[in-house]
A and B are shown apart, each in its own frame.
Chain A
Amino acid sequence: MLAKLAQRIGGRELTLLAAVVAAAVVFASLSPVFLHPNNVYAIIRNSTELMLIGLGLTFVLAIGGIDVSVGMILGIAAIAIGNLLLAGVDPWLAALAGPLVGLALGAFSGTVIVLGRIPAIVATIGLLGVYRTTIFALLGGSWLSGLPSSLSEIFAARIAGVIPTSYIVIVVAYAAAFVVLRRTPFGLHLLAVGNAEERARLSGVAVRKVRIAAYMVSGALCGIAATFYIANYRNVEMTVGSTVALDAIAAVVLGGTSILGGKASLLGTALGVLLIRMLQNGFTIVGLPSLWQPVVTGVLLLLALTLERAAVAGLFRRLGGLVAARRTA
């Protein structure tokens, strides 16, 4: 049973899990505060947005697409939420605006890419510029700061003082994504389009609709991420979201989803995000300068892919199988 599970989960996920555990052990042995509940909460809080955006990007990568403008979608949605809060709108309604704005922008991006027949990387570079200017125009040169805390009281809270609301949402989102991908026709079509678009078209899949839908899912998740962004930080400034896209792509690819499409690893994405954020946190905790953090992210990404190509991933899979087999025995 466990062996079967290990097989299902796959080599990359096990490797990542091992890496997460190893990193946690190293940081915990270097600093007593690393595993302190406060720090665990901090890591969770800091990974919330990336978890959601990474999940959306997993859908986009699964169809063989890419989106470098996700951070800007988060930014525009955050501005919408912030302005609604300032206007005194009910926090639940304001929170709803996030995914709606995200969905609309995702639909727009998807339409430009699919109906305009522009390769996704090119189109989203163009859209990145357009959205960025939009953010500036919306903010008009000032920041949204000192936003009411009504949204924070709902979305930055912990249920029963223990479980962060954000994690309930993240778990639900990942579970829903799993069901959609593995158990619905849409999920099957999504992967089929990513695997072999032409064949999918011939077998009757509405390829264009499926591709646009993937960008809409991603946009909506960016919008939900924006809700948490506002709940956590209560301000929006001009550079909002500028580093999100590269981090998210790195995390998703680290998680084993290929940019060629046809494959989506949800667990891998979650572990990839966790690893990146944990390393960033651990670095600061043990007192390494923050300027080195991008170097570590880059090396990690390249190392993971190199190891995989060097078939070490295969070795890990066998090891994982062995461990699992022994446990069942």
Chain B
Amino acid sequence: MKSLKTVLATGVAVLALAGVAIAQEKPRVAFVPQLIGIPYFNSMEAGGQKAAEEFGVEFIYTGPVDANPIDQLQIVQNLVNQGVEAISISTIDASAIAPVVAEAKAKGLKLFTSDSDAPDSGRDVYVAQASDQGLGETLIDQLVSRIGEDAKIGFVSGDATSSNLNAWIKIIQDRVAEKYPNVTLLEPQFAGGSSDRAAQLASDLMTANPDLKGLIAVASSTCPGVGQAIETAGKIGEVLGTGYCSPNTARSYIESGAMGFTVLWDPAALGYLTVWAGKQLIDGKPFEASNTVPGLDQPIPYDAATGILLLGDPTVFTKDNVGNFDF
């Protein structure tokens, strides 16, 4: 329905040539995801929209079709040109927004990251779902507690260029090296954005390693492929799937037992917090060490040294609680 509206909007632009400048009174907060058309970012959009109504700002959600850094940069550049007061980005790659940071600063616009960081870019703040450390460690600790410390585990990731996915893999690898000497981690495999390739890689990993006990779907786009492959191979009970998967994506696999649990946060809450942070930046209000955000239950900590605003601990979704969530 929404896309239909966009067509109509384009049609109006191209055909009727009836242009009226949109009155711009409310300050604008934009969020640029890594790519559009995936449920995860759609939830963030919904949360952002809710916050926009709550805090009286206009919310803009726009992103590239593929996780392509140039296309993402072009979108950010466009928002800067439009003079959008606060622009948040889930960066595909940490270096990718470097070219526009200076320009945004010069124009007095607030440029910040959300969901995926670009630490040394000079961004104003990073709105984090949970610390990368927490995400990586929760996942591997939970997995090991279910399949034992003597286990072989494989990764199926998305794009090899995604810096947030690579960060989680790295943290898991470090944690294993430090805490679980008997766990063997296989080399990560990259499926790009395609879920059939993810299924193919997952199935090949299981065949290649008959003693495989765990499979981690690092990108949300690889979750259905990993779950499906475990079901198809008839390995439920032998191989435990997990990953950073939303409850809706993973529900049928968690119920079938192909996935034991998944780790994620509420992306809608992250979108909500992102827009709130944008509004704070526009108003020039500093972040406190602990912030009360209207509409969110828990207080939101801010670490001034790293410039990170933290949504909270990740949620672990299992058979018992997966029915309570809808995102």
Binding site for B on A (CB under 8 A): 31, 33, 36, 38-39, 42, 45-46, 49, 132, 136-137, 139-143, 145-146, 156, 229, 232-235, 237-240, 242-243, 280-281, 284-287, 289-291
Is the beta-carbon distance between A143 and B39 smaller than 8 angstroms? Answer: yes
Is the beta-carbon distance between B210 and A233 smaller than 8 angstroms? Answer: no
Of the candidates A33, A145, A242, A289, which one forms a contact with B248 in the assembled complex, judged by CB atoms under 8 Å apart? A145
Is the beta-carbon distance between B232 and A232 smaller than 8 angstroms? Answer: yes
Cα A100 to Cα B160 with chains together (Å): 37
- A121 shortest CB reach to chain B, Å: 22
Is B50's beta carbon under 8 Å from chain A? no
- A155 shortest CB reach to chain B, Å: 12
Give every chain A residue within 8 A of B221 (Cβ-Cβ): 237, 239
- B135 shortest CB reach to chain A, Å: 22
A and B contact pairs by CB, cutoff 8 A, 21 listed: A38-B207, A38-B233, A45-B232, A137-B7, A141-B3, A141-B42, A143-B249, A145-B224, A145-B252, A232-B228, A233-B225, A235-B195, A237-B38, A237-B195, A237-B221, A242-B193, A281-B200, A284-B189, A284-B201, A284-B208, A291-B160
Interface flags for B226-239 (1: CB within 8 Å of A; 0: not) read 00100011000000
Is the beta-carbon distance between A237 and B224 smaller than 8 angstroms? Answer: yes
Give every chain B residue within 8 A of A238 (Cβ-Cβ): 37-38, 193
Of the candidates B4, B190, B195, B204, which one forms a contact with A281 in the assembled complex, judged by CB atoms under 8 Å apart? B204
Cα A143 to Cα B191 with chains together (Å): 17
Contacts A242-B194, A243-B192, A289-B189 given: A235-B228 contact, CB under 8 Å?
A: yes
Cα A136 to Cα B4 with chains together (Å): 11
Is the beta-carbon distance between B208 and A286 smaller than 8 angstroms? Answer: yes
Is the beta-carbon distance between A140 and B3 smaller than 8 angstroms? Answer: yes
- B40 shortest CB reach to chain A, Å: 10
Give every chain A residue within 8 A of B39 (Cβ-Cβ): 141-143
Is B196's beta carbon under 8 Å from chain A? yes
Give every chain B residue within 8 A of A291 (Cβ-Cβ): 160, 190
Is the beta-carbon distance between B194 and A240 smaller than 8 angstroms? Answer: yes
Give every chain B residue within 8 A of A132 (Cβ-Cβ): 65
Cα A287 to Cα B152 with chains together (Å): 14
Interface flags for B134-158 (1: CB within 8 Å of A; 0: not) read 0000000000000000000000000
Is the beta-carbon distance between B3 and A137 smaller than 8 angstroms? Answer: yes
Given contacts A139-B37, A232-B196, list 20 more A-B pairs with CB under 8 A.
A31-B208, A38-B207, A42-B204, A45-B203, A45-B232, A136-B3, A136-B37, A140-B2, A141-B37, A143-B38, A143-B224, A232-B232, A239-B66, A239-B193, A240-B196, A284-B201, A285-B204, A285-B207, A287-B208, A290-B189
Give every chain B residue within 8 A of A31 (Cβ-Cβ): 208
Give every chain A residue within 8 A of B233 (Cβ-Cβ): 38, 42
Is the beta-carbon distance between B228 and A233 smaller than 8 angstroms? Answer: yes
Is B251's beta carbon under 8 Å from chain A? yes
Give every chain B residue within 8 A of A281 (Cβ-Cβ): 200, 204, 207
Give every chain B residue within 8 A of A146 (Cβ-Cβ): 251-252
Contact residues of B between 285 and 307, Cβ < 8 Å to A:
none
Contacts A39-B207, A42-B204, A290-B189 given: A141-B36 contact, CB under 8 Å?
A: yes
- A39 shortest CB reach to chain B, Å: 4
Contact residues of B between 168 and 213, Cβ < 8 Å to A:
186-187, 189-197, 199-201, 203-205, 207-208, 210
- B281 shortest CB reach to chain A, Å: 27
Cα A115 to Cα B195 with chains together (Å): 36
Residue in A46, A137, A238, A281 with the greatest tally of chain B CB atoms within 10 Å? A238
Cα A233 to Cα B251 with chains together (Å): 15
Give every chain A residue within 8 A of B191 (Cβ-Cβ): 290
Give every chain B residue within 8 A of A289 (Cβ-Cβ): 187, 189
Cα A285 to Cα B199 with chains together (Å): 14
Give every chain B residue within 8 A of A140 (Cβ-Cβ): 1-3
Cα A134 to Cα B301 with chains together (Å): 43
Residue in A36, A142, A232, A239 with the greatest tally of chain B CB atoms within 10 Å? A239
Closest to B186 in A: A287
- A150 shortest CB reach to chain B, Å: 14
Contact residues of B between 208 and 223, Cβ < 8 Å to A:
208, 210, 221
Give every chain B residue within 8 A of A237 (Cβ-Cβ): 37-38, 193-195, 221, 224
Give every chain A residue within 8 A of B3 (Cβ-Cβ): 136-137, 140-141
Cα A151 to Cα B232 with chains together (Å): 13
Is the beta-carbon distance between A290 and B42 smaller than 8 angstroms? Answer: no
Is the beta-carbon distance between B194 and A239 smaller than 8 angstroms? Answer: yes
Give every chain A residue within 8 A of B201 (Cβ-Cβ): 284, 290
Give every chain A residue within 8 A of B186 (Cβ-Cβ): 287
- A130 shortest CB reach to chain B, Å: 13
- B222 shortest CB reach to chain A, Å: 10
Cα A240 to Cα B199 with chains together (Å): 13
Is the beta-carbon distance between B199 and A233 smaller than 8 angstroms? Answer: yes
Of the candidates A139, A141, A145, A232, which one forms a contact with B249 in the assembled complex, judged by CB atoms under 8 Å apart? A145
Q: Which 7 A-B pairs have the closest CB atoms?
A: A284-B204, A238-B37, A146-B252, A239-B193, A285-B208, A235-B224, A39-B207
Closest to A290 in B: B189
Cα A137 to Cα B65 with chains together (Å): 12
Cα A142 to Cα B246 with chains together (Å): 13
Closest to A148 in B: B252
Cα A132 to Cα B36 with chains together (Å): 13
Give every chain B residue within 8 A of A286 (Cβ-Cβ): 208
- B61 shortest CB reach to chain A, Å: 10
Give every chain B residue within 8 A of A280 (Cβ-Cβ): 200, 204
Is the beta-carbon distance between A234 and B207 smaller than 8 angstroms? Answer: no
Residue in B192, B193, B196 with the greatest tally of chain A CB atoms within 10 Å? B196
- A96 shortest CB reach to chain B, Å: 22
Cα A195 to Cα B224 with chains together (Å): 45
Of the candidates A36, A142, A232, which one forms a contact with B207 in the assembled complex, judged by CB atoms under 8 Å apart? A36
Is the beta-carbon distance between B187 and A287 smaller than 8 angstroms? Answer: yes
- A243 shortest CB reach to chain B, Å: 6
Contacts A287-B208, A290-B189, A291-B160 given: A46-B203 contact, CB under 8 Å?
A: yes
